[in-house]
Amino acid sequence: AQTVTQSQPEMSVQEAETVTLSCTYDTSESDYYLFWYKQPPSRQMILVIRQEAYKQQNATENRFSVNFQKAAKSFSLKISDSQLGDAAMYFCAYRSAVRGFGNEKLTFGTGTRLTIIP
């Protein structure tokens, strides 16, 4: 079974600065998908960024980028130019790429609560 670990329960960053949230995972599979979801106090889970394990290039979405280290099983999220609206709980998630019953589920980490200091 796959596991996802987020070792930082809480992080804070000054507005306009850069912050990195860490995520590690454990799997025996070679092909999979990794996601970062953001859940602000409004409760909706919002997809921030997605990485396909077979792609070596790190995914980027505007101010959000990842550092994907497949051998180390590490998938960190970097937020540049932090904004007040970035304050939220951030969940790292894993999904198997093996097609089969039950493999479609997302395995989430325990989350990191990010606070933005004005």
Interaction site with another protein (CB under 8 A) = 33, 35, 37, 42-47, 50, 52, 91, 95-99, 101-106, 108-111
Residues 6+ apart with CB under 8 A from 43: none
**Closest approach of another protein to the CB of residue 71, in Å:** 22
CB-nearer residue toward another protein: 3 or 14? 3
* Beta-strand relationship, 19-21 and 74-79: antiparallel
Residues in the chain: 118
**Judged by CB, which is closer to another protein: 102, or 118?**
102
Q: How far is the CB of 57 from another protein (least distance, A)?
A: 16
Shortest spacing between CB 25 and another protein, in angstroms: 13
d(CA 14, CA 76): 19
CA dist 10 and 30 (Å) reads 30
Q: Name which of 98 and 117 has its Cβ closer to another protein.
A: 98
Rounded Cα gap, residues 16 and 7, in angstroms: 24
Nearest distance from residue 102's CB to another protein, in Å?
A: 6
